[in-house]
Structure 1
């Protein structure tokens, strides 16, 4: 009898275990990326909503940002409205990964005047 008898089964189990670990790692990475994108989208939309309603006061603008973030499945981590500019932070409301993403919205700053050559 050969001493190698049954070694293919051991190798097959080892390969399946390694592939399972790699697949699990890829799934976790995918969840982390999706959570980051979800938080970024919610932060962007909440900042835009707060900047659009700045004239009603900071409290009303932040309340609007909270409603928009909740509609996107996120929660607001912070909100600040200074004049027409709104800065918010948002993170996903559920899931194992909760990255906080910050966004800022408001009117564009004055474009710098470039010297003309000639």
Structure 2
């Protein structure tokens, strides 16, 4: 495995890991400050955590609820990277650029739909029980 090189310098393994976390955090901050949907996804994760605590969901329900929500955020990171790469290559309309951006958006949409289904299956019985 090659160690990260920045401006021609080679760094040691500990500094390499620190650089990777730094760049990951920068990616997180970029999405948080530039992608409106990322803020809504973060609010969704917080809501799931709050509802999970209120309804005292099981360990397995926690796993499914959080993985489904975090998957949306992970795909949003990838979608943002695809969009930035396409924009780097061309600002002009191109059918292949449209396909790349549309497919990235579709992946985020599908993950959101899946999370909605998973979390509905988890939380609707608790909500119904609440109103009995």
* TM bracket (short chain): 0.3 to 0.5
Larger helix proportion of the pair: 2
**Which structure: larger Rg?**
1
The TM-score, its normalising length taken from structure 2, stands at 0.35
Larger strand proportion of the pair: 1
The TM-score, its normalising length taken from structure 1, stands at 0.39
